[in-house]
Copies of this chain bind each other. A is one copy, B any other.
Amino acid sequence: MLRTHTCGELNAAHIQKEVTLCGWIQKIRNLGGMTFVDLRDRYGITQLTFDHATSIELSEKAQRLGREWVIKATGCVAERHSKNRNIPTGDIEIIVEHLEVLNESLIPPFTIEDESDGGDELRMKYRYLDLRRNPVKNNILFRHKLSIEIRNYLNNIGFIEIETPFLIKSTPEGARDFVVPSRMNQGEFYALPQSPQTFKQLLMMSGYDRYFQIVRCFRDEDLRADRQPEFTQIDCEMSFVEQEDILNTFEGLVKHIFKTVKNIELTDIERISYADAMKYYGSDKPDARFGMRFTELNDVTQHRDFKVFNDSELVVGFVAEGCAGYTRKQLDSISDFVRRPQIGATGVVYLLCMENGSFKSSVDKFYAQDDLKAIADKAHAKAGDLLLIMSGVTEKTQKQLCELRLEMGNRLGLRMAGEYKALWITNFPLLEWDEDTMRFYAKHHPFTAPKPEDEALLELNPGEVKANAYDLVINGTEIGGGSVRIHNKVLQQRMFKALGFTEEAAQQQFGFLLNAFQYGAPPHAGIAFGFDRLCAVLSDCDSIRDFIAFPKNNSGRDMMIDAPSAIANEQLKELGIQIKN
């Protein structure tokens, strides 16, 4: 090794010891006859000291060094005169005797500091420099630690990691596939997996009964903030289990993760049905760190003179505790918030529950004080509280009020970093109607089993069929989801039919799976977690990009290596394809 120690490990116990360190130059300070260099590596920072009085040559060499140069320095560990309590090596410095420049550096395009002066685009282009910064480095190290903990936990309870193929078959159901032209089978294409779903189900049929894989998946979707064309999934499946077993097993995993990487004892994960999540939070991924649960107010608001409420499918509100003192300006800013195009509401009705027992509201002229009291009572608003009410068609109104709830949570400081609330959302509908294409789509995916008691509805009333499907939500972010699977050929065929597949299309695309069901498929169920997102949520971070070493931008482009790019005509010819003009 070129070094004897790292830049993070030396302390008072090493004083008098001769050491060699390697690293990057973080900072140089020339103080009269002394030159101080902060040397950085993955493990920390150590101060190097060059004394002009001892060696002019060495000292002058040190003064010529620049930021981000790579050096090797040998010297003696000495006690510092002015100790730095902020870093583990702050008690010591190295009195350098030998200095070797291993590589020079141009002046980096942005500062390698916790707070960099580089813009997003510049840091993406020079990602290898951005990765030197502590905040990014800590994310990458955190991700590694998390993956080790997850693998060992699952291994210890009998799960085995099995690698599934990346060059698979394209299926039109679900998101858009990335495809790979086959040279050996011209005119044909592989697809990159959106998930190893069918393979893990086949592994259950093969008897592997506890499978997992931390695996890259691909989706050729138009990218929103926080979506990447390639992402990593913790993919799991079990045989001879019911929903309850999956929830318990992976609640164990989640608790283990919190304990080992966050040192947090997570309480039991609350379960809430999809219907209740929509009813009380207007969302199937509620942030349950704070209350403000919704109350439906139709019965106490309708049948008065207020046409807006009378005509509404849903009138629903929540209480912002202690906010009755809000000023006109504050109330207006709430109205402004819901009118933003992203929310798209026409307004919000407020009801201030005054300390003296009276009520003020934006709809005073339609409701008497008694009416307002009845509304407040229904919503469990107390004196001093603010009740916020929205109305309209059910789903849209729920969604809008959900946004307002989250906004109020932010304004009131109720969405605390470092605080975690996990939920299981259960009893999802099996299918979802799409108005644009006028057909049903699978809410989770086409392999999710209907609840046995709802099977008969699959043809009669598909929209009403519930599934043993579940999501894990932490702090309002969906971290994972799964379901009990179909393990019966006929039921799977009925499901494909409900999704509008012809029998031929189903056989052509999923024939191998349908066939496999005939050779002793066990009951099985599973779940998959978004690993990038899990890293981000555990770090109270909004962007998954911060946890991916080499992410792509919103056009799916790797700015650093400049990919995708044109390829040689020769390559296209070999593949038997051409670019369409």
> Which A positions have Cβ atoms within 8 angstroms of B?
1-3, 22-24, 40-42, 68-70, 72, 102-106, 108, 126-129, 131-132, 137, 140-141, 143-144, 147-148, 151-152, 155, 160-170, 172, 176-192, 198-199, 202-203, 205-209, 216, 218, 220, 222-223, 229-230, 232, 239-242, 245, 487-488, 511-512, 516-523, 548-550, 552, 555-558, 560-568, 571, 573-580
Please determine whether A203 and B131 come into contact, CB atoms closer than 8 angstroms.
yes
A103 CB contact (under 8 Å) in B23, B170, B487: B487
Contacts of A232 in B (CB 8 A): 163
- How many Å from the CB of A220 to the closest CB on chain B? 6
Q: Contact between A562 and B2 (Cβ–Cβ < 8 Å)?
A: no
Query: B512 contacts A562, CB within 8 Å?
Result: yes
- The answer on a CB contact under 8 Å between B187 and A566 is yes
User: 16 A-B pairs, CB-CB below 8 angstroms?
Assistant: A2-B240, A2-B241, A23-B207, A70-B521, A102-B523, A103-B487, A127-B202, A131-B208, A148-B155, A163-B549, A165-B550, A165-B552, A176-B571, A180-B192, A189-B565, A577-B579
Query: Once the chains bind, are B550 and A164 in contact (CB under 8 Å)?
Result: yes
Assuming A140-B162, A152-B148, is B240 touching A22 (CB within 8 A)?
yes
Contact A128 B240 (CB under 8 A): no
A222 in complex: contacting residue of B161, B184, B575, CB < 8 Å: B184
* A140 in contact with B166 given A70-B521, A560-B512 (CB within 8 Å): no
| Beta-carbon nearest neighbor of A188 in chain B | B564
Q: Which residues of B contact A108 (CB under 8 A)?
A: 519
B128 near A140: Cβ-Cβ < 8 Å = no
Q: In the bound complex, do residue A1 and residue B104 qualify as a contact, i.e. CB atoms below 8 Å apart?
A: no
Q: Which residue of B lies closest to A104 (CB)?
A: B520
Q: Indicate whether A129 sits within 8 Å of B185 (C-beta atoms), given known contacts A22-B240, A163-B548.
A: no
Are A207 and B549 neighbours in the complex by a CB distance under 8 Å? no
A519 engages B129 (CB within 8 Å):
yes
Q: A182-B556, A561-B512 are in contact. Are A567 and B170 (CB under 8 A)?
A: yes
CB distance from A237 to the nearest CB of B (A): 13
Q: Which residues of B contact A557 (CB under 8 A)?
A: 185
Contacts A487-B103, A556-B185: A144 and B161 contacting too (C-beta < 8 A)? Answer: yes
Q: Is the CB of A216 within 8 A of B163?
A: yes
Residues of B within 8 A of A155 (CB): 144, 148
**Are A167 and B178 in touch, CB under 8 angstroms?**
yes
A163-B549, A170-B565, A185-B555 known; A70-B148 Cβ under 8 A = no
| A179-B103 CB under 8 A given contacts A151-B148, A550-B165 | no
Least Cβ distance of A198 to chain B in Å? 8
Contacts of A141 in B (CB 8 A): 160
Say yes or no: A549 contacts B203, CB within 8 Å: yes
Task: Point out the residue from B3, B147, B580 that lies within 8 Å of A577, measured CB to CB.
Answer: B580
Q: Select from chain B the residue with minimum beta-carbon distance to A41.
A: B207
- Shortest distance from the beta carbon of A362 to any chain B beta carbon, whole Å: 45
Partner of A520, one of B24, B148, B188, B190: B24
Contact A521 B162 (CB under 8 A): no
- What 11 new A-B contacts, CB under 8 Å, besides A105-B518, A140-B162, A182-B556? A1-B242, A2-B241, A2-B523, A72-B240, A131-B203, A137-B207, A148-B155, A151-B151, A165-B558, A183-B220, A512-B561
